[in-house]
């Protein structure tokens, strides 16, 4: 696919805000205007061309590459199009993103997808703390879209998350799902306590075998019971886009806890059941 | 025109605009999906007395269905979007929600929405859960066998109701055999239903009645016992007429179903006494869709 490429000119400790450096804006502009686009570097407005070399091509997708760990809010202003980032990025990845597809070949620091509204984001390595969670001035976290983390997630994942789907292929650290409002999070690795404190609603699917020890002791949650959840095959079909079939539940029969009951919550923690006596078959697409 | 010695009258069937939606009902196995679909599409032969016309369109294989389980696709037709929505919510609520192991999903996508789970969710009494997956909202309603999953809404489209053809036979047995053959072929056609019992109506009607309270009455021109006392349209020797009525998503679907049905009826119909095929119309003044038999079969 042909692309417009922005190559970071040099390493710098300056914090660059790249909120507006998105395909739906740049792909319409000629190269010289792209270079003149103003971005904040440590709160000073400077031309984008000072920081990035613009390598023009047909504008089907935008690529940003180089030393980007001090670049913040990448993808934040996206409404449509495809943005690929080669390199690890700074804070606030995809904040306020409203559409399109964003792929990061690297890690992301804190607050990734904290205010994601729509679209699809994938990070090939790890994300830091507060991913998909609420960040001032917003009272709610991620509000839509799909966010896939191929590595691990830091602390406070999905705090006050409101909607959307998060998939973490690795582990998550402490305090995940605190005050979660709704949405779906899938954790393939290990989760750590405390977990889902004051969770209101939403669905957490815990696929990691090591999580089985937690079933009886998540504070505020009912003891895990075996149930058949008819919506699970629909969710699994969606997850097949991101995860190998082998690690997904093969049955709608799972173990589930409800909570946080201390807050009147009806969130659900779902553990894949080892009770697979006569599971209904889920046809894979 | 003749097909296998069966005369095809040079006339047309007159049909009307309707609005339609499709639902996909899934269940633990085909048996329960079928029960729910049959229940839901029961008492739905005519909008005149039933509020809608509904029928089973086809089976949906597990690999095709939204949740990977066996399913049945049903079509529902009505005269207005409001009436359609009322019928859909009532029928799903009484006949699908109640049936063990079922879930129900939108079978049509479009701008004009028909409420489904957005209304039925209240049965969950506050315990229902909303889940957005791939930009579609589903409602999970807790019930005694687990949970009833229902998509928030389906969509509707403009449709065509009342496509038809009449089989005219020397005997009732012959007319039935012809219609059964027609139905077997027509059930393979997507986007259509034949809403009457077995797909066939024996009580074809005409507009108007001697009784002021009735808007329709027996189609005396095709009643064999009234041949000597009315302006009969029955050829000599014909003692039974049956009408196959078709509702379809668009004109092309209705036309295709009529063609397939008439050919199937005529294939061995003459041997069983089938003598003619004709079409039911009101002089062309009521319905905007005219299906000319010779054009369809030509």
Residue position matching structure tokens 């983390």: A149
Q: How far apart are CA A107 and CA A87, in angstroms?
A: 7
- A280 and B28: CB-CB below 8 Å? yes
Side-chain-side CA neighbours of residue B289 (13 Å)? 23
Angle at B207 between CA B202 and CA B212, to 5 degrees: 110
Residue position matching structure tokens 């400077």: A46
Q: Which chain A residues contact residue B146 at CB under 8 A?
A: 227-230
Q: How far apart are CA B41 and CA A111, in angstroms?
A: 51
- A285 and B140: CB-CB below 8 Å? no
Q: Which chain B residues contact residue A284 at CB under 8 A?
A: 68
For residue B242, the distance in angstroms to the closest alpha carbon of chain A comes to: 43
- What average pLDDT does chain A have? 90
Which token pair is B293?
A: 């038999």
Reported as a single tens digit per residue, the pLDDT across A227-239 is 999 999 999 999 9
Q: Which uninterrupted H or E stretch holds B89? A: helix B81-91
Predicted ipTM?
A: 0.88
Per-residue pLDDT of chain B (298 residues; tens, 9 = 90+): 999 999 999 999 999 999 999 999 999 999 999 999 999 999 999 998 899 999 999 999 999 999 999 999 999 999 999 999 999 999 999 999 999 999 999 999 999 999 999 999 999 999 999 999 988 999 999 999 999 999 999 999 999 999 999 999 999 999 999 999 999 999 999 999 999 999 999 999 988 899 999 988 999 999 999 999 999 999 999 999 999 999 999 999 999 999 999 999 999 888 899 999 999 998 888 899 999 999 999 8
A163 interfaces chain B, CB cutoff of 8 Å = yes
Query: With contact defined as beta carbons under 8 Å apart, do B158 and B288 qualify?
Result: no
Which token pair is A255?
A: 């173990």
Q: How many CB pairs under 8 A join A and B?
A: 60
* Beta-strand pair B274-278/B6-8: parallel
Task: Give A190's contacts (C-beta < 8 A, 6+ positions apart).
Answer: A171, A172, A208, A210, A211
B29 interfaces chain A, CB cutoff of 8 Å = no
A261 interfaces chain B, CB cutoff of 8 Å = no
Q: How far apart are CA B142 and CA B15, in angstroms?
A: 43
A201 interfaces chain B, CB cutoff of 8 Å = yes
Q: Which uninterrupted H or E stretch holds A236? A: helix A232-239
- B69 and A283: CB-CB below 8 Å? yes
Tell me what the mean pLDDT of segment A100-104 comes to: 97
Q: How far apart are CA A263 and CA A222, in angstroms?
A: 13
- A280 and B69: CB-CB below 8 Å? yes
For residue B134, the distance in angstroms to the closest alpha carbon of chain A comes to: 7
A 217-236 residues inside an 8 A Cβ radius of B: 227-231, 233-235
Count, residues in chain B: 298
3-state secondary structure of B286: coil
- A285 and B63: CB-CB below 8 Å? yes
B64 interfaces chain A, CB cutoff of 8 Å = no
Question: Helix-strand-coil percent breakdown of chain A, rounded to 5?
Answer: 10, 30, 60
Q: Which residue has the higher pLDDT, A58 or B89?
A: B89
A276 interfaces chain B, CB cutoff of 8 Å = no
Q: How far apart are CA B235 and CA B233, in angstroms?
A: 6
Q: Is the pLDDT of residue A206 over 70?
A: yes
Which of B68, B134, B140 minimises the CB distance to A238? B134
B127 interfaces chain A, CB cutoff of 8 Å = yes
Q: Is the pLDDT of residue A280 over 50?
A: no
């Amino acid at each position: 696919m042909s692309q417009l490429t922005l190559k970071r000119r040099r390493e710098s400790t300056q914090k660059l805000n790249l909120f507006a450096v998105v395909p739906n804006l740049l792909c319409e502009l000629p190269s010289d205007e792209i270079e003149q686009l103003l971005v904040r570097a440590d709160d000073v407005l400077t031309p984008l061309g000072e920081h990035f070399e613009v390598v023009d091509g047909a504008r089907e997708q935008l690529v940003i590459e180089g030393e980007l760990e001090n670049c913040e809010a990448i993808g934040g202003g996206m409404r449509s199009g495809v943005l690929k980032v080669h390199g690890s990025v700074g804070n606030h990845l995809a904040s306020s993103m409203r559409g399109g597809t964003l792929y990061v070949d690297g890690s992301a620091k804190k607050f990734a997808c904290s205010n994601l509204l729509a679209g699809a984001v994938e990070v090939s390595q790890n994300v830091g703390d507060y991913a998909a969670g609420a960040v001032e001035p917003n009272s709610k976290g991620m509000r839509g879209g799909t966010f896939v983390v191929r590595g691990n997630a830091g602390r406070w994942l999905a705090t006050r998350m409101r909607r959307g789907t998060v998939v973490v292929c690795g582990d998550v650290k402490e305090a995940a799902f605190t005050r979660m409002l709704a949405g779906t999070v899938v954790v393939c690795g290990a989760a750590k306590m405390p977990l889902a404190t004051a969770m209101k609603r939403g669905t957490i699917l815990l696929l990691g075998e090591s999580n089985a020890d937690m079933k009886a002791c998540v504070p505020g949650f009912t003891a895990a019971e075996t149930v058949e959840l008819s919506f699970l095959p629909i969710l699994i079909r969606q997850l097949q886009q991101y995860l190998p079939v082998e690690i997904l539940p093969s049955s709608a029969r799972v173990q589930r806890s409800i909570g946080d009951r201390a807050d009147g919550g009806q969130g659900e923690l779902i553990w894949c059941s080892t009770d697979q006596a006569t599971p209904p078959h889920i046809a894979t697409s | 025109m003749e097909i296998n010695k069966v005369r095809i009258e040079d006339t047309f069937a007159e049909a009307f605009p309707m609005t339609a939606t499709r639902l996909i009902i899934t269940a633990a196995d085909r048996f329960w999906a079928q029960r729910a679909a049959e229940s839901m599409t029961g008492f739905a032969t005519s909008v005149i007395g039933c509020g809608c016309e509904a029928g089973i369109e086809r089976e949906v294989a597990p690999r095709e269905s939204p949740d990977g389980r066996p399913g049945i696709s049903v079509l529902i037709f009505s005269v207005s979007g409001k009436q359609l929505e009322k019928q859909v919510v009532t029928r799903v609520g009484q006949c699908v929600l109640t049936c063990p192991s079922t879930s129900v999903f939108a079978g049509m996508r479009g701008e004009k929405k028909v409420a489904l789970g957005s209304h039925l969710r209240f049965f969950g009494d506050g315990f229902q859960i909303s889940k957005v997956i791939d930009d579609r909202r589903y409602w999970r309603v807790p019930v005694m066998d687990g949970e009833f999953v229902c998509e928030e809404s389906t969509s509707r489209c403009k449709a065509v109701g009342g496509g038809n053809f009449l089989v005219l036979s020397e005997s009732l047995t012959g007319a039935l055999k012809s219609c059964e053959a027609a139905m077997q072929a027509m059930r393979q056609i997507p986007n259509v239903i034949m809403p009457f019992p077995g797909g066939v109506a024996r009580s074809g009607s005409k507009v108007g009645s001697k009784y002021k309270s009735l808007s329709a009455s027996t189609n005396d021109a095709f009643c064999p016992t009234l041949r000597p006392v009315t302006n009969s349209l029955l050829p000599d020797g014909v003692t039974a007429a049956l009408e196959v009525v078709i509702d379809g998503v668009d004109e092309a679907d209705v036309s295709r179903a009529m063609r397939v049905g008439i050919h199937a009826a005529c294939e061995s119909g003459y041997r069983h006494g089938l003598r003619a095929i004709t079409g039911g119309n009101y002089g062309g003044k009521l319905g905007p869709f005219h299906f000319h038999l010779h054009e369809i079969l030509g």
